[in-house]
Amino acid sequence: MPELPEVETVVRGLRQTVLGQTIEDLSLNAPPASVFVSASFGDESLPNIIIGRRITSVDRRGKNILISLTGKMTLWVHLKMTGHFYYRERSTPLDKHDLVVFYLRPENRAPGKMSLRFNDYRRFGRLRLFYNRELWQQDGLKELGPEPLELTRGDFVLLCKSAKRMIKPALLDQSFIAGLGNIYADESLYASRIHPTRVTSSLSTPKLVELHGQIRRLLKMAIRKMGTSVDSFSGVNGNPGEFQKYLKVYGNEGNPCLRCGRLIVRQRIGARSAHFCPRCQRA
């Protein structure tokens, strides 16, 4: 599933391409579960509501994409496992997995030549439309924890000290910290030499400060490298990310640790797997 750097890459790509444009037309080829319109809109369909609306901003919260439209409404998008946004010329043939196609008209009212396509071959992605006044009351947004790139080291230490839980599941909990997933949790713990089963409250303040710094460093680096492409992730332009070249433990089980030579292991912790070096990251 795309994590903070991948979603941030998509958001920045959308800002560079569709911001300010008007939705001139809309084509839907999505299963009913993929598209949801709030009951506040009555019986109106998604095309009837958003055709003619202008895209006023594109933001990220955790792993969520928030596309604001005129009329005080927001299209809330979660990419899930294989969702993508592609910015394509209208003349480009449609792919069978292009579930939603937005036909766009630029700000200068020139004839529309471009489209934004939501493509998802596993069809787990979600597009949901809400009025702004009700958006932050929704499950999946209202319980999100702080953003890791906005969280101060002091607040991070207090957050961890106030919890008594294993550090890896805590980092994956979106109500604890928003945006992290398996990739960046594993890499941050490895960089900090912390075993994924260590209890948060048992970690010393210097060690938590180190972890906070490593999380920020790795997220910023991954954003610069346009995210990690270990499965199918790509940006709005269709180009894959490059951070997979810098992964030290994630997906490297059976390979020697770059620091000590011990083989990287993969172990199920809680409901998720963790990759770590059993020598560098002692339990």
**pLDDT by residue (tens digit) across 10-25?**
999 999 999 999 999 9
Active site residues: 2-3, 63, 272
Q: Does pLDDT of 232 surpass 90?
A: no
Residue 270 confidence (pLDDT): 85
What CATH number belongs to 4-135? 3.20.190.10
Residue 41 confidence (pLDDT): 98
Distance between CA 3 and CA 81 in Å, rounded? Answer: 10
- pLDDT tens readout for residues 247-277: 999 999 999 999 999 999 999 998 899 999 9
Residue 267 confidence (pLDDT): 97
Q: Are 162 and 197 in contact (CB under 8 A)?
A: no
Residue 1 confidence (pLDDT): 82
Provide the mean pLDDT of the chain: 96
**pLDDT class of 9 with cuts at 50, 70, 90:** very high
Q: Does pLDDT of 117 surpass 80?
A: yes
Q: Does pLDDT of 109 surpass 80?
A: no
At the second CATH level, the architecture of 153-276 is: Orthogonal Bundle (1.10)
Q: Are 25 and 113 in contact (CB under 8 A)?
A: no
Residues 93-107 have a mean pLDDT of 96
CB contact set of 244 (below 8 Å; sequence gap of 6+): 228, 229, 230, 251
Residues 206-226 have a mean pLDDT of 98
Domain edges within the chain: 4-135, 153-276
Distance between CA 242 and CA 257 in Å, rounded? Answer: 21
Q: Does pLDDT of 231 surpass 80?
A: no
Residues 211-221 have a mean pLDDT of 98
